[in-house]
Chain A
Amino acid sequence: MITLLTDNTMLAALIALVGLGTLFGGLLGYAAERFKVGSDPIVQQLDELLPQTQCGQCGFPGCRPYAQSIADGDAINKCPPGGQATINAIANLLDVTAPSLDEAHGEEEIRTVAYIREDECIGCTKCIQACPVDAILGAAKLMHTVIAEECTGCDLCVEPCPVDCIDMLPIVENIGQWQWPAPPNPIDLIATTASSMHEDAA
């Protein structure tokens, strides 16, 4: 046997390479099974970036289904509540250029919170069923109210209300939430051309 191999170097090389190939192939196959990643981690990461309003403006029933859809190749600019900041973050994660918000799905608006005019509420529980985050309290034929801290401002409770007693109120900034504004009119980072230097001088 050994003499056969030493005489036939081509055969020896063939056997060695095929043997190595089989061995590593088997190892890789085993590793793929043994260390299999359960869920798609990119979906998880995308879901983390979405604002979790669960409003469905993107056309999907919640943020996670949209994250799944983005992972499958859908457009990343369908989330009005997240706005440009979310689009930029997703573009950064996926390493693509950030498009502007798709107007077909709505415009970026200031954050709001649902407010039920309580003396007009008839206690039909329709808004409770519509709320995606269980932020409305109440029971049949009893007044309902919104837990403002839990409300994502998704707007989904407004439409089912038969007496139109739900308002979406903008969140008022108080002194505790105030933050320093960035300095106005930032100047050129570096004066690179003669023209911009002239502008600076002027």
Chain B
Amino acid sequence: MRRIWDTPGGVHPPDNKAQSLTSGIGQLPLPEKLILPLTQHVGGAAKVCVSVGEKVLKGQKLASASASISAAIHAPSSGWITAIEERAVAHPSGMSAPCIEITCDGEDRWIECMGYPDYKQATPLQLRNLIADAGVAGLGGAGFPSAAKLDRGTHMPVDTLIINATECEPYITADDILIRERADQIIQGIEIISHLLGTPKTILIGIENNKPEAIAALNQQCQGTGIEVVSFPTKYPSGGEKQLIYILTGKEVPSGQLPADLGMVCLNSGTAFAIKRAVIDGEPLISRITTLTGEACDINRNYEILIGTPVSHLLEQNAFNPDLCSRLIMGGPMMGFSLTSSDVPLVKTSTCILAPSHTEIPDGDPAQACIRCGLCAEACPASLLPQQLYWYARADDHERLQAHNLFDCIECGACSYVCPSNIPLVQYYRSSKGDIVNARTAKATAAVARERFEFRQVRLEKADTVRETKREARRLATEQAKITSPTTTQSSGSSAADIIKAAQLRGSTRQASPEQQKAKLERTLMAAEMRLKEAQQRLLQATTNGSADQQTQQLASVEAAKRKVEQTAQRLTEVSH
């Protein structure tokens, strides 16, 4: 018997799992349309590789992984692509996101699948590519792309593989029923993962002791495989990754680090099943087990649903009574979120659809003042101080929130569950986390803007100095030329002044005939007389209404004009003689 550790805090809500376990995994009739959001996982949105109007077969790839952390998306049934556009998706915001819509043709015809039953011959890289191509993402609810999780890269070698079959949240029984019915395939999946990771020393399956049938099924399948099934007392939230690792190994994953840093990999049992399907059968991830439960539905059971099935389709098949239902929740009652519409599709991370009646999960009483009872601190599985975080969140004190390790909060909702004042603590933390992340991005973009602005200033200054130096150089050159010009005229006779002198000389030597000279002088005399008249008129105007200054000015110009007339007349008499 392996030693187990007890996590701090935790709560014991009524588990309400029996309702949906009365019958096995069911199948739904094919819906008319399937809607596949491009982001059903953590990381970058998948890149569409089909076009509207195209005919697709079941299992055909519709969108490929766009980054190292991203997952491909496949057609869950055969049909036509009828739209690639924004649609409402299952998200707490109720916003829409890019989706691919398939109108099913009802044939449900498979594309040819290339399995790899002899996976032991494959290299880890080949296996990882198979898993990546199948679009496998964490089916426990977080949706982290499995291929990226299994990429050891530069991390230390993995010595412990943990399979999370805890399923600690009330109402959800998807993993439980999957283990009961298909434990053999889950074990096959675990063996593939183990082979991929280079056969870790310890392989553990962690499961809560409220699932005796599933534990029995696993124990039966694990005989002789070296895989150990560890059951431990039921407590919410034992299924958190860090909590489960502590329960099974007694090791704490440090704040800001990943299990991989401790040489551990933790995967959900449903993910192990999907990996078996992807590798051995060559079937991509196009369906999952989802629990439908709550008093507003007559039938409570688990279904193997096709990814992209609208929630409304699932509800219609199970005599859903909207009048009874207080709200539709995707996920469990602790960590799930309310859906704003039932038209949204089920995705890879949809573990459960909960349709509770008004008596089952009543609308919360209004929040009241905190009475500082401290129950939240006792319930916190991460050993945080929820009450302090609450005050700081109210005061928007981001520094203190981070100093009190807000980002280690797993948003399990245990604190809100025990709060006697009904304070929506987790919502405060989520909102503050968002604010802090936004502030960080704003700061990063501001730093980039500052860098670009400063770089531009430097560039402009540099351009200015270059221009200034060029101007200075030109000025110096002309000055130099002025200083040196007299000496150069004497020595070489090639300067500008010399050229002008030569031209004047040429002009004077070129003698015009006396008639030409006479005609020219007459023209000049006429012009001079005209100017004299104009000057006299201006003088007259100036004396009547001008100032003294203007009068003297005009007088001077009249004098100058008179002199010009006299000079020209004299030249003319000289020439005519």
Contacts and interface: CB of A to CB of B under 8 A. Distances in A.
Interface in A26-55: 47-48, 50-54
Size bracket of the A interface: 20 to 34
Interface residues of B, number: 41
Contacts of A174: 95, 97
Interface string B412-454: 0000000000001001101111110110001101111110111
B394 A134 contact: no
Contacts of B457: 62
Nearest to A47: B450
Given A51-B442, A182-B427, A175 B96 contact: yes
A179 B551 CA distance: 84
Contacts of A54: 449, 453
Interface stretch (B23-31, B85-93, B138-146, B307-315): B85-93
Interface in B224-238: none
Contacts of B454: 64
B431 A181 contact: yes
Interface in A79-124: none
Contacts of B445: 52, 149
A187 interface: yes
A200 B367 CA distance: 10
Nearest to A188: B369
A186 interface: yes
Query: B434, B445, B449, B455 — which one has the most chain A CB atoms within 10 A of its CB?
Result: B449
B201 interface: no
B456 interface: yes
Contacts of A149: 445
Contact of A135 (B39, B368, B370, B452): B452
Contacts of B433: 179-180
Contacts of A10: none
A15 interface: no
Interface string B238-257: 00000000000000000000
B171 to A, nearest CB: 22
Interface string B443-479: 1011111101111110000000000000000000000
Contact of A183 (B367, B368, B438, B449): B367
A24 interface: no
A175 B95 contact: yes
Interface string B95-130: 111000000000000000000000000000000000
B438 A179 contact: yes
Given A53-B449, A134-B455, A135-B452, A178 B369 contact: no
Interface in B140-170: none
A187 B394 CA distance: 10
Interface in B28-44: 39
Contacts of B93: 175, 178
Contacts of A150: 448-449, 452
Query: A152, A179, A181, A188 — which one has the most chain B CB atoms within 10 A of its CB?
Result: A179
Nearest to B96: A175
B369 A191 contact: yes
Contact of B394 (A51, A179, A189): A189
Nearest to A151: B449
A182 B394 CA distance: 9
A48 B442 CA distance: 11
A134 B435 contact: no
Nearest to A129: B460
Given A179-B431, A179-B438, A134 B452 contact: yes
Nearest to A192: B369
Contacts of B428: 182-183
A63 interface: yes
Interface string A161-180: 00000000000001110111
Given A183-B424, A186-B394, A190-B369, A133 B449 contact: yes
B427 A183 contact: yes
Contacts of B427: 180, 182-183
A157 B368 CA distance: 51
Given A51-B442, A134-B455, A179-B435, A189 B450 contact: no
Nearest to A88: B396
A153 to B, nearest CB: 10
Contacts of B446: 50-52
A14 B432 CA distance: 64
A63 B450 contact: yes
A187 B450 contact: no
A6 B449 CA distance: 71
A51 B445 CA distance: 9
B456 A132 contact: yes
Nearest to A173: B95
A134 B449 contact: no
Contact of B449 (A152, A180, A186): A152
Contact of A175 (B97, B424, B435): B97
A163 B562 CA distance: 59
Interface in B63-101: 89, 91-93, 95-97
Interface string B193-224: 00000000000000000000000000000000
A180 B434 contact: yes
A182 B431 contact: yes
Interface string B379-399: 000000000000101100000
A63 B452 CA distance: 13
B369 A133 contact: no
B367 A175 contact: no
Contacts of B391: 189
A67 to B, nearest CB: 11
Contacts of B449: 52-54, 133, 150, 152
A52 B369 contact: no
A180 B431 contact: yes
B87 to A, nearest CB: 11
Nearest to A186: B394
B429 to A, nearest CB: 9
B370 A179 contact: no
Contacts of A200: 368-369
Contacts of A183: 367, 424, 427-428, 431
A186 B96 CA distance: 29
A177 to B, nearest CB: 8
A175 B99 CA distance: 13
A48 B435 CA distance: 18
A175 B91 contact: yes
Interface of A: 47-48, 50-54, 62-64, 132-135, 149-150, 152, 174-176, 178-183, 186-191, 200
Given A47-B450, A52-B449, A182-B427, 13 more contacts: A48-B443, A133-B449, A150-B448, A175-B89, A175-B91, A175-B96, A175-B97, A178-B93, A182-B393, A182-B428, A189-B369, A189-B391, A190-B369
Report, nearest first, the 4 A-B pairs whose CB atoms are least far apart. A179-B434, A180-B430, A52-B446, A52-B449
12 contacts: A52-B449, A133-B452, A134-B455, A152-B449, A174-B95, A174-B97, A179-B431, A179-B438, A182-B428, A187-B366, A187-B368, A189-B391
